[in-house]
Amino acid sequence: MKYGYARVSTEGQDLSLQIERLEAVGCGRIFHEKRSGKDTRRPQLQRMLETLRPGDTVLAVNADRIARDPFDMLTILRTVKDAGAGVTLLDEPFIDTTSEMSDLVMFVIGWAAKWHRRRILENTAHGRARARANGVKFGRKPKLTAQQKQDALARLAAGEPRWQVARAFSVSDRTIERLR
């Protein structure tokens, strides 16, 4: 049996290209999920690994769809091999899990995936820092404007109960409490 595995990191990303490619090579069943590759407890990955029988093949588009860490990659590869199955990567056809060199190759590819993920995180952090320096505000918009905050604090200082101030501004009691 050929099993496909497709993964993207976030809900906003699209799995369809991976799924189409796996269908095109004859996967009888495709496990897919939208979870980070650094999460080794991905439910669909675990289900697929538990399903494997001798002679089965796991197909994925490339190594970083399976794991982002070389040690995770080796653990997954060992689980596949222990089940008597193999792994084929569509974009990395030089990987042959039936050879003794496969552990080394998979480790190197897993290391490269981890390195690539680190670069992504660094680039994202630099982009965020640059945006902050240019005045971009992150997070939710405040529920109260600066003027509303001043007005609410003035009403509290005048002795008005917090719950009443919260109701006047249509916010929670906790929002008013945090102003102090």
Please write the tens of the pLDDT for every residue from 26-38. Answer: 999 999 999 988 8
Average pLDDT over residues 60-72: 87
Domain spans in the chain, listed from the N-terminal domain onward: 2-131, 146-177
Three-state SS for 49-108 is: HHHCCCCCEEEECCHHHHCCCHHHHHHHHHHHHHCCCEEEECCCCCCCCCCCCHHHHHHH
Task: Point out the residues that are catalytic.
Answer: 9
Is 70 exceeded by the pLDDT of residue 99?
Answer: no
What pLDDT does residue 98 have? 63
Q: Report how far residue 130's alpha carbon sits from residue 79's, in angstroms, rounded to the nearest whole number.
A: 43
CATH number of 2-131: 3.40.50.1390
What pLDDT does residue 169 have? 95
Average pLDDT over residues 89-108: 75
What pLDDT does residue 144 have? 93
Q: Report how far residue 168's alpha carbon sits from residue 164's, in angstroms, rounded to the nearest whole number.
A: 6
Q: Find out whether 67 and 110 touch, Cβ atoms under 8 Å.
A: yes
Which of the listed ranges 16-25, 108-117, 133-142 does the model predict with the highest average pLDDT?
Answer: 16-25
Is 90 exceeded by the pLDDT of residue 95?
Answer: no
Residue 71 DSSP SS3: helix
Higher pLDDT, 148 or 118: 148
Higher pLDDT, 100 or 104: 104
What pLDDT does residue 96 have? 66
Average pLDDT over residues 117-121: 87
